[in-house]
Amino acid sequence: MNTRQKALINYLIKKTHYITTKSLATEFAVSERTVTKDLNTITDYLIAEQLPLQMDRKKGTGIWLKGQPHDKEKLLTLLGTSDHKQIQLDELQHLLIFHTLQAPKGIVKLDDLADQLFVNRRIIQEELKKIRHLFEHHGLQINSKPGVGILIEGDENQKRQLLVQTLRNMKTSKVNTPSLKEFFKQDTLKVIQDTLKEILVEHDMPTSKNLSNLEIHIYFMLERMRHKAVIILTNSETDAVNNTPAQQVSSQILAKLSSIYPIEFSPDEINYLALRIASTFPSSSSALYFEKEASLLTDYLMYQVDDMLNYSLNKDETLKKNLTSHLTSTYFRLNYNLSITNPLTQNVFNAYPQLFLVLQLILDDHFKQETYFVPPEEIAYLAIHFQAAIERHKNNKTRHFRVLLVSEYSKAMATFIEARLNRELPELNVVDLLEYSDTLTQQHFETIDFILSTVPFFHPLLSVLEISPMISANDVLAIEKYMVDCPPNQQVKKFDLASFTNPFLIFPQADLKTPEEVLRFMGDNLVTNDYVVPQFIKEVIIRDKQASVRVAPLISLPHANPSFVKHSTISILTLKEPIDWHGEQISLVILIAVKKDQLKNGEFKKLFSVIHYLEEIPERVYEICQAQHALDILNLLSIYE
């Protein structure tokens, strides 16, 4: 293949329509006869390389190089003219999962993977080793068989779940991955989308919902059925959708597709899709199966959150109704291993880490005797319901102001003024009664919002509102106006971090490179010092891989089930250089190892106030990460506003 012929291929690949040999001859400054010879050479090359591309020639119309975009990209790569950038490793892992699970009968050859992904066999082998644990987490095994290829063994249902999860990750990935549309036959996908919407409209079901998961499942069903791969449901899964609207909708969708494609869907395939429809549209399912369980869990969650966070939410009927409704669907999804998307999961975790953590630990404890794992997407929805209730609760309470009452009278006389203030303005909390003296202006009152005084004077740090000893109506109005205009002061507050950690649990400027290295290092130290059992390390690593533990810029808050904690503590580590923590830069790691009852501790709750403070004051995070000594880090994390 000479330089001109390579250039001709590049030119043809960019064309989306037919072009005449005369135009090509003019473009490359050669004769039409030379162009014809070059086209014949290119055609022979395509056949020799077994590329699924076609040099389509139409008399009187011209030439068009037809084929899929990824096959054209492969051609450019073979010729050494591709501007395709090397796939990033995290992209490569997603694509490996996708291709191995898409392979007919679960078998794919290393050479085929290398060709499809434009990397060599050695890199493929290395990356397959790295993702082995992810397959095992889904109950699947990657086995290499000489002369056969890579074999993915396990339940078809689990394969489909991992496929959908991988596709979702690829769609939300920040890196510039090749478009997934290249991997789907677009005509097939369009037929699926049109069929799905048509049947849903017939059944008065909303088509505005995110239907991408259903479309993906149906696409994979078609591919699997073409390759004679089958799925077998359990009796309980079949019973869950028998004689339900979801089953009826599923039957109609697959019946219509069977009239288009030469595929016969088994009853299990119909019910498999029905389960997915029921998950997307709870009203179409037998969700009432779990109404009792949902009601009991609602009561349990409300009681536990009240107990741990000191909220009085047990009479919030709106919260109870919302939780029961949502948990009915949650139980359905958990019972049949279905997933739910929640694009706000990370935002919820960042905004309400304490509430999120409390709900996670409560659910861990509730389901410890069962096989259910409640994913972070579900927890985030529950956290939103609880946060709404908490805000309703707060809005029903008036803000409280801490004030100092100063008068020329004795404390006994001033008590009368205080009683009148309490009656007229219950939101005021009179912290102290002081007789006026000239030294008041030199005193510093840390926790006071403002001063009420029957004596006119000026304080350099606090507002002084002058009132009459009889508290007139004008005094009340003036105080109310001040409270509306000036919210309670933010004062420097203290967090007794030293009661939850020790200098030997704080590691400044650690030179570690990966999240797992960090968690193993910190976890091993906790095990050595008898704070946790060895299983704690495994659990905290698993949880970290399942969901992001980033709570603020540069800050990670890993944790695990309290049942693996022997003595509650907090371990802190700063990194010499920020590391990539599953796509996010992290410099400060706060590892929580606490028993469930510790979450009720009022002082411990201040940790989350500290985190919110650090989120708003990033320079403090930088200062902490630059500290060279454990005691300096301890002091910096012990104050906030």
Q: Each residue of 175-233: pLDDT tens digit? A: 333 333 444 456 677 888 888 888 988 888 876 555 556 776 787 677 667 666 666 77
Q: How far apart (Å, rounded) are the C-alpha atoms in residues 471 and 477?
A: 10
The pTM assigned to this predicted structure is 0.48
- The pLDDT value recorded for residue 395 is 57
- Please say whether the beta carbons of 478 and 465 come within 8 A: yes
Residue with tokens 């990370």: 346
pLDDT beyond 50 at 426 = yes
CATH class of 494-640: alpha beta
* Mean pLDDT value of segment 366-381: 78
377 has which bridge partners?
none
Task: Parse the chain into domains and list their residue ranges.
Answer: 3-79, 89-183, 186-285, 288-395, 401-487, 494-640
Which tens digit of pLDDT belongs to each residue from 304-348? 888 777 777 877 888 888 788 778 778 877 777 766 666 567 777
Q: Is 548 left (phi over 0), alpha (psi -120 to 50) or beta?
A: beta
pLDDT beyond 50 at 621 = yes
Provide the edge-to-edge strand list for the sheet that holds 584-593.
Answer: 506-510, 569-581, 584-593, 554-556, 550-552
Longest CA–CA separation in the chain, Å: 115
* Mean pLDDT value of segment 373-389: 82
Sign of CA dihedral 119, 120, 125, 126: negative
pLDDT level of residue 87 (50, 70, 90 thresholds): very low
Tokens of 315: 């009479």
pLDDT level of residue 574 (50, 70, 90 thresholds): very high
Per the model's pLDDT, the better-predicted residue between 119 and 457 turns out to be 457
- The pLDDT value recorded for residue 208 is 56
Average pLDDT, the chain: 79
The string of DSSP letters for 24-76 reads HHHHHTS-HHHHHHHHHHHHHHHHHTT-S-EEEEETTTEEEEES-HHHHHHHH
CATH of domain 401-487: 3.40.50.2300
Domain 288-395 grouped into CATH 1.10.1790: yes
- The pLDDT value recorded for residue 182 is 41
The string of DSSP letters for 224-261 reads HHHTT------HHHHHHHTTSHHHHHHHHHHHHHHHHS
- The pLDDT value recorded for residue 399 is 61
pLDDT beyond 60 at 83 = no
Architecture of domain 186-285: Orthogonal Bundle (1.10)
pLDDT level of residue 86 (50, 70, 90 thresholds): very low
Q: For 351-486, where are the E strands, in sequence order?
A: 401-407, 428-435, 450-453, 464-466
Tokens of 545: 């891989």
- Please say whether the beta carbons of 441 and 468 come within 8 A: no
Domain 89-183 grouped into CATH 1.10.10.10: yes
pLDDT beyond 80 at 563 = yes
Q: How far apart (Å, rounded) are the C-alpha atoms in residues 1 and 290?
A: 67
Q: How far apart (Å, rounded) are the C-alpha atoms in residues 364 and 562?
A: 9
pLDDT level of residue 518 (50, 70, 90 thresholds): very high
Question: For 86-95, 538-547, 565-574, which range has the lowest pLDDT when averaged over its residues?
Answer: 86-95
Q: How far apart (Å, rounded) are the C-alpha atoms in residues 318 and 342?
A: 22
Closest CA to 331 of 383, 386, 282, 268: 282
* Cα-based distances in Å from 101 to 47, 95, 134, 220, 370: 28, 10, 13, 10, 29
Topology alike, domains 3-79 and 401-487: no
CATH of domain 3-79: 1.10.10.10
Per the model's pLDDT, the better-predicted residue between 601 and 342 turns out to be 601
Q: Provide the percentage of residues in the chain whose pLDDT is more than 90.
A: 14
